[in-house]
Amino acid sequence: MTGLPRVALESADLARRNLLHLRRTPALILSGLVEPVLFALLIGYVFGGSLGGDAYREFMLPGLLAQTVTFSASFTTIGLAQDLQSGMVDRFRALPISRLALLLGRTSADLVMVVGGVAVTTITGLAIGWRPHTGVFSVLAAFLLVLLYAFALSWIGAFIALVTPNAQVAGSFGLLWMFPVSFVSSGFVASATLPGPLADIAAWSPVSALANALRELFGNAAPPNFPAQVGWAAEHPIGYALLCTLGLITVFATLSTWRYRNRTRG
């Protein structure tokens, strides 16, 4: 068997191996599931009271989903960095498998953790008052978009693992970029309220794109006291979110494959 079917089968085998390995790290699984709950309670109740109460918590949930899948990229970073440091990747290189299959196996397996995090975030949102106000197909489209975005972000995580020297540095860098990317956005506030150039950065942020697209698909309006978001990205949130997602996959899958070939050459 050759070509894409072979790559797909090899990726599935490696994804299965990564999932079995993940079961041996329950602390990592627990942190990934508890973190969305903490952020939901912290932002929804500590800050939400002064930002619009129940209306704000409905506005917040799509942003929290965007943050949850953004932070999930760290699973790919840490997992791939550990495989590189332990020599596991060198063992895979001795096998007649595609280089792309190894990276696809890692990014695909990490989607399982994303599904768990998204489920916990959604259940927490329902518990604190969030509700979707659209039809079943719009809600399903929203969750499919979340998973596609998570897949795109996992390639950023893979690239970070491949350009850092060891698992410790990869873990630090894998988390460092997530906080500014998540919070300099319209995930939790209207981007127009941010000062100076931060407002422009937030307006075009991929996190803002996903959060705004989810708000449209779920029918979650901004609180009455929030300024309206303007600009092409805000007016076409679903289209812009798809463009961002596909662009991230194209760029970082290419960069990750290139870096993997250079790093493992020899």
Tell me the pLDDT band of 214, cut-offs 50, 70 and 90: very high
**pTM for this prediction:** 0.89
The answer, yes or no, to whether residue 2 has pLDDT greater than 60, is: no
Could you read off the pLDDT of 50-104 as tens digits, one per residue?
A: 676 788 889 999 999 999 999 888 888 888 888 888 877 777 766 666 777 778 8
Q: Tokens 């760029």 belong to which residue?
A: 251
- End-to-end alpha carbon distance in the chain: 26
- Over range 229-241, report the average pLDDT: 91
| Residue at 137: amino acid letter | F
The answer, yes or no, to whether residue 43 has pLDDT greater than 60, is: yes
Could you read off the pLDDT of 106-116 as tens digits, one per residue?
A: 888 888 888 88
Q: How is residue 263 written in tokens?
A: 């790093």
Tell me the pLDDT band of 25, cut-offs 50, 70 and 90: low
The answer, yes or no, to whether residue 266 has pLDDT greater than 60, is: no
DSSP letter string, the chain: --HHHHHHHHHHHHHHHHHHHHTT-HHHHHHHHHHHHHHHHIIIIIIHHHHTTHHHHHHHHHHHHHHHHHHTHHHHHHHHHHHHHHTHHHHHHTSS--HHHHHHHHHHHHHHHHHHHHHHHHHHHHHTT----S-HHHHHHHHHHHHHHHHHHHHHHHHHHHHSSSHHHHHHHHHHTHHHHHHSSSSSS-GGGS-THHHHHHHT-HHHHHHHHHHHHHT-PPPTTSPPP-SHHHHSHHHHHHHHHHHHHHHHHHHHHHHHHHHT--
Average of per-residue pLDDT values in the chain = 85
Q: How is residue 107 written in tokens?
A: 């990014």
Could you read off the pLDDT of 118-176 as tens digits, one per residue?
A: 999 999 999 988 999 999 999 999 999 999 999 999 999 999 999 998 888 888 888 88
- Over range 30-55, report the average pLDDT: 78
Looking at residue 1, its pLDDT comes to 47
Looking at residue 261, its pLDDT comes to 83
